[in-house]
Structure 1
Amino acid sequence: MAMESTMDEVSARKKKFKGFPLLVIFKNFETALFCDIKQWASRLRRLRLRYRRRQRRGRSKSRKEKVGHDKLKGWQGAERRGE
């Protein structure tokens, strides 16, 4: 008897259920989309930095000096270069 009333309640709830509200679905989709974009950007940045690192390692000594912080202009760059 108790089992039948429980089953009736469950079936009544299922019939009443009209689906998840669109706002909840949109929020979940928005969160997933933002996470995907962040992951994609992070991956691209990692690949770009890796490529640049590889390029810098393969350069001659004179070309290596012209890369990165050595390009500083003004007194900081001159101080580093020993001028």
Structure 2
Amino acid sequence: MLEYIDVVYDEDYLEHIYIMGDGASWIKSGVDVLGAKCHFVLDKFHLNQAIMRAIGHLGDSVSDARKAIYDGIRSEDKKQSIQSLT
């Protein structure tokens, strides 16, 4: 992957490199290999799975909680979004 990035992109202009996956250790190890610009991000399927595990006990409120969480994820002001959930 490092060779591919080096060939295809001008690394001086890259601000961030994202590795998406399910959080398995072998995927996360790529963050260490690719360096400080690299960040791990859960893919959409596993993000939704984690959110549903966290809020599944809310019963009738699951839909509202999921909407609030996704609104927060999409929000420009992440700090404010987190405060509104607490």
TM-score range, shorter chain: under 0.3
Structure with bigger RCO (C-alpha 8 Å, 6+ apart): 2
- Normalised TM-score (structure 1): 0.25
Q: Which structure is larger by alpha-carbon Rg, 1 or 2?
A: 1
- Normalised TM-score (structure 2): 0.24
Which is richer in strand? Answer: 2
